[in-house]
Chain A
């Protein structure tokens, strides 16, 4: 197991796994409309494992740059939401990051699974 993780392929897969987790965190950030606030479930979860400062800091750091860019892009495309409702521009960001996460995940699964594909079958010798 450890040997596999330390092999080049294992390292690539770990990088993919990390990327999927990172993008999934961005989904939570988008859900609140690209603000620095963390959702309650995430606050609770990250406080328990002592990571809250890091996550909140990550959220805050994204807000003035990426958050504003995404907001500007969506508004430029004519997206508007009813301020009285719970809908938000972040819904679109959520779906974007979900799409990115699915793409990364799909590619990672293909990297693992492609080994089973074959252009050649060597028959196992029966004893």
Chain B
């Protein structure tokens, strides 16, 4: 079994998280407590983003060409302008796409903080933590490309900042810049590349999520409908309160100097504008490495997990523990020759959390936690009942 770790640096936050959730339970009940669906919240917003993005994609034109500067010309900026001002519900759909993205970042942050504070990110969960970091970085980058696609002043400035930040990296820098701009400078092809990154990486998220859900038996993928209604409503109300509008069309001959910051996606640019570029990369890379390594670094001495053990001569191969294991740590293998049964349960130690659900699932006492065998539990129950007092 896994011991409750007392030297966890975030122990105080665990109590705080549980206290907040307890307060929410008081009026929303555990059935609708959004914290109990914290992983499903960003997943829900991802579906909203796919759907609204599909509608925007139908009208978006990924070129920067404004050589004639005519109103009839269609480029990225004018197509976004058309979507926003002329298409029925276009501005609203654009708003939904934007604010669902912001909401996704917020919910991802909540999800990460909760698993961190409640100590649910290390040991047998390391794959979830690391894949989650990778997913979060991709979400950030996908969101940023969304800001380039609008192709207003801000997009141009962000594109230039990104290109020069890439360029300053040693060895890979020039290559990255060429990949990013799809050439040596900003051309029509640049926006094609941005659109490809924006949409292509979005679908890559599904692959990342597959890894994120690996080893999770029956992952919670969607909150109850009533919670979904509220999640949707939050985005819709934001669309009304802060309606979107583009800045001026980007002009390659001018250098915009300032822009409004979207603090959910564009905070790296705020950092980049305040510090030398190599310092920026150092902070970003070291920060990412440190957070990724948190499952190993946060607690100096992590007690090893006492993994479940199958009692070979008792296992009947009934598969109940295999079905109930929440981490897919039990595999049914063919029983050795001479056995009365066809299958035998085996424990994959590296996946086992030592929670004991398999013990509860076994009607034959055939699986045990070595530090708390069920015979011992039964003896303890008996002893307690016989004791006076």
**A residues whose Cβ falls under 8 Å from a Cβ of B:** 74, 77-82, 84-88, 91-96, 98-100, 102-103, 105-107, 109-110, 113-114, 116-119
Complex Cα gap A116–B245 (Å): 44
With a cutoff of 8 Å between Cβ atoms, the chain A residues found around residue B227 in the complex are 106
Q: Given A79-B91, A91-B91, A92-B239, are A106 and B229 neighbors across the interface (CB < 8 Å)?
A: yes
With a cutoff of 8 Å between Cβ atoms, the chain A residues found around residue B229 in the complex are 102-103, 105-106, 109
Does any Cβ of A come within 8 Å of B364's Cβ?
A: no
Does any Cβ of A come within 8 Å of B219's Cβ?
A: no
Q: Given A78-B243, A113-B226, are A94 and B30 neighbors across the interface (CB < 8 Å)?
A: no
5 A-B pairs with CB atoms under 8 Å apart are: A81-B91, A99-B234, A102-B236, A103-B229, A110-B32
B180 to chain A, nearest CB (A): 31
Complex Cα gap A24–B239 (Å): 18
Complex Cα gap A82–B92 (Å): 14
Interface residues on B, range: 20 to 34
Q: Which of B85, B240, B242 is in CB contact (< 8 Å) with A87?
A: B85
Tell me the nearest residue of chain A to B87, going by C-beta.
Answer: A87
Q: Given A102-B233, A105-B229, are A113 and B224 neighbors across the interface (CB < 8 Å)?
A: yes
Tell me the nearest residue of chain A to B238, going by C-beta.
Answer: A99
- Find the residue from A91, A93, A98, A105 having the highest chain B CB count within 10 A: A91
- Find the residue from A86, A87, A109, A119 having the highest chain B CB count within 10 A: A87
CB–CB B28/A110 < 8 A: yes
Tell me the nearest residue of chain B to A116, going by C-beta.
Answer: B31
Extra pairs beyond A105-B229, A110-B32, A110-B226 (9, CB < 8 Å): A77-B242, A79-B91, A91-B89, A94-B92, A103-B230, A103-B237, A107-B226, A113-B31, A113-B226
Q: Which of B224, B225, B230, B236 is in CB contact (< 8 Å) with A96?
A: B236
Does any Cβ of A come within 8 Å of B131's Cβ?
A: no
Q: Given A95-B240, A102-B232, are A117 and B85 neighbors across the interface (CB < 8 Å)?
A: no
CB–CB B236/A98 < 8 A: yes
A73 to chain B, nearest CB (A): 9
Complex Cα gap A86–B199 (Å): 29
Complex Cα gap A85–B233 (Å): 27
CB–CB B32/A96 < 8 A: no
CB–CB A109/B86 < 8 A: no
**B residues whose Cβ falls under 8 Å from a Cβ of A:** 28-32, 85-92, 95-96, 224-230, 232-237, 239-240, 242-243, 245
Q: Is the interface of A mostly helix, strand, loop or mixed?
A: helix
CB–CB A117/B91 < 8 A: no
Q: Which of B89, B228, B240, B242 is in CB contact (< 8 Å) with A99?
A: B240
Q: Which of A82, A96, A117 is in CB contact (< 8 Å) with B86?
A: A82
With a cutoff of 8 Å between Cβ atoms, the chain B residues found around residue A119 in the complex are 30
CB–CB B92/A92 < 8 A: yes
Complex Cα gap A103–B232 (Å): 9
With a cutoff of 8 Å between Cβ atoms, the chain B residues found around residue A86 in the complex are 88
B33 to chain A, nearest CB (A): 9
CB–CB B86/A87 < 8 A: yes
CB–CB A117/B88 < 8 A: no
CB–CB B30/A106 < 8 A: no
Complex Cα gap A103–B91 (Å): 22
Complex Cα gap A118–B30 (Å): 7
Tell me the nearest residue of chain B to A108, going by C-beta.
Answer: B226
Complex Cα gap A78–B91 (Å): 12
Tell me the nearest residue of chain A to B235, going by C-beta.
Answer: A99
With a cutoff of 8 Å between Cβ atoms, the chain B residues found around residue A79 in the complex are 91, 243, 245
With a cutoff of 8 Å between Cβ atoms, the chain A residues found around residue B240 in the complex are 92-93, 95-96, 99
With a cutoff of 8 Å between Cβ atoms, the chain B residues found around residue A113 in the complex are 31-32, 224, 226
Complex Cα gap A28–B243 (Å): 20
CB–CB A103/B233 < 8 A: yes
With a cutoff of 8 Å between Cβ atoms, the chain B residues found around residue A107 in the complex are 226, 230
A60 to chain B, nearest CB (A): 23
CB–CB B237/A117 < 8 A: no
CB–CB B89/A106 < 8 A: no
A21 to chain B, nearest CB (A): 16
Q: Which of B85, B226, B235, B243 is in CB contact (< 8 Å) with A77?
A: B243
With a cutoff of 8 Å between Cβ atoms, the chain A residues found around residue B230 in the complex are 102-103, 106-107
